[in-house]
Chain A
């Protein structure tokens, strides 16, 4: 085994000599190979792997708002709904009102928000109730209708997922419901509340 050592060394020396002698040529060759490698690199990274990106669960989108009004005199239930299943896509929201509101009765109102984009429909209302202090619903109408908040956040400031709707006179017009995220609380109404609007829908209604 030791006898082979000198040969071993010789081989290394010879190889080293060879390498050193050819170094100058090698530099040229390296450049040459690099030149050759560029198109190679280029074509080798062609569209080989087809790992398609996974779809995104669009979590925060609200597609549907349903307002249910239950008449205190037992005359029935009025449902107002807006639904926009493609979110910011070109599809328009579908706004429906199930029937007229009776001027003779006040109503208990409740609002539910859904995200129907996800495979399993998500109830966004829970999130809003959890973060009640960061949200507020604002009501307005060109008709003579009173809106009274019946739920409040931890600071006893109005939230608006539950409310009382009390019409004072008959007529046709609109009711606008706006959900604001991070408004200034307390505030004097939508105009001075700041924050950003999550949902705003105007329903055409008849009070008779």
Chain B
């Protein structure tokens, strides 16, 4: 339908065609001298992937021929003249092309397949694994719909081997096989999110309603996005626009009992058969205080408003699009988690229940956070003989304000950071033949962090400018029907130029005055202004292979080396971090950490069942982590000192997933994931390793009854039995005794039951209604979660009934 031959409005192609036409007509004036021994060779190929098209018919001036297996056709004895060729193929709209014959001529003609087939191709490429040598985990639109009132962290947890590190009920960040924060890269619509991912209390700034699919990739294909993704890359994407004249979209409203709030989200997409398309999407969510089975978690509500817009042209062989998205939220932090000293934490732990419990409210008071994230992306691509070339520019601005309970009527934020990132990338995807591909690219990035000094509080993250430059290349080849090989390499250059005021006493205590005298700009007495500059050169590589035993069984093996430079908080932290009531100290002498990851996956799938077994071992050299080392008296009391350390670590474990269909409409699923992490020198367990987790699910669906689907899920989380003992003695001045501050002992195991159901029907206007009912923590069980930073202060959410109604047109 959308053949290149069709002149498509006032677009660029038609101008080009017009120009070429006028050009040809000009030079053909003097071509009347008859000389009829010229040969015209034609090759007809598929516009999308360059494969030759057999049986294409070419007609001109009474001549007619069809292409052979290789798409070739030759017309002999043509006179010097201008010929109008009409090329047709059963799957394609006919194409007219003018050719000027003066001598023997070769012409390559690109035909576009008919719409139906086109759609199929697009669907295939949509669902295709980004990597063919690594088993890829995906989340479908259906699951995303189920979780539309939740966060991206919550939905990622449905993948085996992924857990989340939480700060309360709303802030959750993904942990892949035990690794998180700067080790997990998030790609939103092709753009690497720069949203200050280093902090545990910083959740990804992505609206779950703005995306249609999520996948997690590791291995060679991940090198396209990042070299420092030691944990993995999470790719959130929108689906491709259909190539037909259509308007579609949906409106979803959701309500939930816990938090007594809900949200509304809408999508509007307009597409045209000539390739132009645009899309609007908006979400608004509002929740009040969440509740545990026994009490209200005061000040845990949030509101979120998000908007995105996309417009562009997709002509299959060339196109461009513009994307803008805004993610903004305001959220309360549990009132009782505002602990300033170790004694406050001891009191909280002893109390079990928060000290401040107020009646349910929608108010968001201090402590709270306010975040807005703008993303603008411009992208263009064009297919050439040598491959698909695409160019991308994006700009992100992440603004984070944290408000603390302050004295003296101060209501300005205690932390106000603005992170701006520009990046420009050029990618080339070349297909050598049917069995091998090469992807390569180049990327440059500039980032600036600006902490607003008007907060009146010492900067946690200093002013810095960062310059990145990367090159990558990934090659894949099918060696035989069974063997598939993929290899990649990436080089990352990074230069950080920062300005930071250090406490002179700390600068000297850390021996920085001797190690880094060149960084000192000015000694101001109490503080020293420094200008630390660092340059990192990192190489990451990967080798992966897939062996297909037969049609249903595959074995994947992958070895990758990823290098991650230390993030600003690991380098520059120096001082009291109020929200965690501890003094955190970074280290300027850190080097990049290097992860060696080996993974072996076995997958067997047939009509009735699907089994995936994934085992991995991750040896990370110079792993950066934070541990408590000392206690320090200050005027506000004694604080634990946590220092970032760099040591070799090892993580290993496996994930198992098995689904089986019984009868025609029962599906029983099981998921188990186990992970262990240790320091390599002394075999001490690493902190915050996800405990063993077992999920069992049974679902029943009746297609005849409007796709009614009922499912019951059981989730059993074991108690983490291996953890570092970071407890320490705290002097209780009022009693004159020492007491142990037990921040390390993990909470006990828990078992949750969740229920979900969905029901869909068609409206008489042609749209589709879908109703989802999901109940989490069905038994209203009271429990604490080891991976929640606020577990000392509160239990987890109680029963939550979520109802959503979605209408799509």
Residues of A within 8 A of B406 (CB): 60
Judge whether B341 and A23 touch: CB under 8 Å.
no
Binary interface encoding of chain B residues 449-475 relative to chain A, with 1 for a CB under 8 A from any of its CBs, else 0: 001010111110011010101000000
Given contacts A21-B19, A60-B456, A84-B634, contact A196 B339 (CB under 8 A): yes
Q: Which residue of B lies closest to A49 (CB)?
A: B465
Report, as a range, how many residues of chain B touch the other chain.
Answer: 35 or more
* CB <8 Å contact, A46 and B467: yes
CB pair B503 A93 closer than 8 Å: no
Whether A92 lies near B633 (C-beta < 8 A) is yes
CA distance A24 to B406 in the complex (A): 62
Q: Is there an interface contact between B505 and A58, defined as CB atoms closer than 8 Å? A: no
Docked complex Cα distance between A146 and B635 (Å):
24
Q: Does A9 contact B (CB under 8 A)?
A: no
A-B contact count (CB 8 A): 187
In contact, B407 and A197 (Cβ under 8 angstroms): no
Q: Is B382 within 8 A of A181, CB to CB? A: no
Cβ-based interface call for A85 (8 A) = yes
- A42 and B344 in contact (CB under 8 A), knowing A20-B16, A59-B410, A86-B505? no
Contact A198 B633 (CB under 8 A): no
B503→A89 contact, CB < 8 A: yes
A45-71 vs B: 1/0 string, CB under 8 Å? 111000011111111101111000000
Instruction: Report the bound CA distance from A17 to B407 in whole Å.
Output: 70
| B 410-458 contacts with A by CB, 8 A | 410, 424, 426, 442, 444, 446, 451, 453, 455-458
Q: Which residues of chain B have C-beta atoms less than 8 A from A52's C-beta?
A: 499, 521, 529, 531
Q: Residue of B at shortest CB range from A116?
A: B526
Interface membership of B506, Cβ < 8 A: yes
- B391, B497, B576, B733: most-surrounded residue (chain A CB, <10 A): B733
CA–CA, A41 to B587, complex, Å?
31
- Give every chain B residue within 8 A of A138 (Cβ-Cβ): 734
Q: Is the CB of B526 within 8 A of A85?
A: yes
Whether B733 pairs with A131 at a CB distance below 8 angstroms is: no
B702 interfacial contact with A, CB 8 Å = no
Does B388 touch A at the CB level, under 8 Å? no
CB closest chain-B residue, reference A37:
B424
Asked if A38 CB lies within 8 Å of chain B CBs, one says yes
Closest to A176 in B: B733
A88 at the interface (CB under 8 A from B): yes
Decide yes or no whether B575 CB sits under 8 A from chain A: yes
Q: Are B506 and A196 in contact (CB under 8 A)?
A: no
Q: Which listed segment binds B: A72-80, A150-158, A160-168, A199-207? A: A199-207
> Is A202 touching B575 in the complex (CB atoms < 8 A)?
no
Distance in Å: Cβ of B632 to nearest Cβ of chain A: 7
Most B CB contacts (10 A, CB to CB) among A41, A47, A194 go to A194
Q: A181-B407, A196-B339, A197-B341 in contact; A53/B632 too (CB < 8 A)?
A: no
**Cβ A194 vs Cβ B506 within 8 A:** no
B634 near A196 (CB under 8 angstroms)? no
Contacts of A46 in B (CB 8 A): 467
B501 at the interface (CB under 8 A from A): yes
For B379, the chain A residues whose CB sits under 8 A away are: none
Pairwise interchain contact A24-B405, C-beta atoms closer than 8 A: no
Q: Does A136 contact B (CB under 8 A)?
A: no
Question: Of A27, A196, A201, which is within 8 A of B405 by CB?
Answer: A196
Q: Say yes or no: A60-B526 contact (C-beta < 8 A), given A21-B19, A35-B426, A197-B343.
A: no
Interface: A82 (CB within 8 A): yes
CB of B338 within 8 Å of the partner chain: yes
Q: Does B408 contact A (CB under 8 A)?
A: yes
Contact of A131 among B16, B338, B409 (CB under 8 A): B409
Is A140 close to B, CB under 8 A? yes
Q: From the candidates A56, A90, A130, name the one contacting B501 in the complex (CB within 8 A).
A: A56
A202 and B634 within 8 A (CB): no
How far is A189 from B406 in the complex, measured between Cα atoms in Å? 22
Choice from A17, A27, A84, A134 contacting B382 with Cβ under 8 Å:
A27
A38 to B424, CA, bound (A): 8
Q: Does A184 contact B (CB under 8 A)?
A: yes
Residues of the A chain whose Cβ atoms lie less than 8 Å from the Cβ of B409: 130-131
Q: Does B340 contact A (CB under 8 A)?
A: yes
Q: Does B65 contact A (CB under 8 A)?
A: no
| Complex interface: chain B residues within 8 A of A92 (CB) | 632-633
* Contact indicator B458/A197 (Cβ below 8 Å): no
Give, as a whole number of angstroms, the nearest-CB distance from A151 to chain B: 18
Query: How many whole Å from B527's CB to the nearest CB in chain A?
Result: 7
Closest to A117 in B: B526
- Can you name the residue of chain B whose Cβ is closest to the Cβ of A20? B19
Q: Is the CB of A82 within 8 A of B635?
A: yes
**Assembled-state Cα–Cα distance A92/B638 (Å):** 11
A-B residue pairs, 9 tightest by C-beta: A196-B340, A89-B503, A59-B456, A194-B355, A20-B19, A88-B576, A127-B408, A84-B635, A89-B505
Using a CB–CB distance below 8 Å, which chain A residues touch chain B? 17, 20-21, 23-24, 27, 31, 34-35, 38-39, 41-42, 45-47, 52-60, 62-65, 82-93, 117, 124, 127-128, 130-131, 134, 138, 140, 142, 174, 176, 178, 181-182, 184, 190-191, 194, 196-202
10 further A-B pairs in the complex, CB-CB below 8 A; given A58-B456, A87-B576, A90-B632: A38-B424, A39-B469, A41-B424, A53-B463, A53-B499, A93-B633, A140-B733, A196-B339, A196-B340, A200-B343
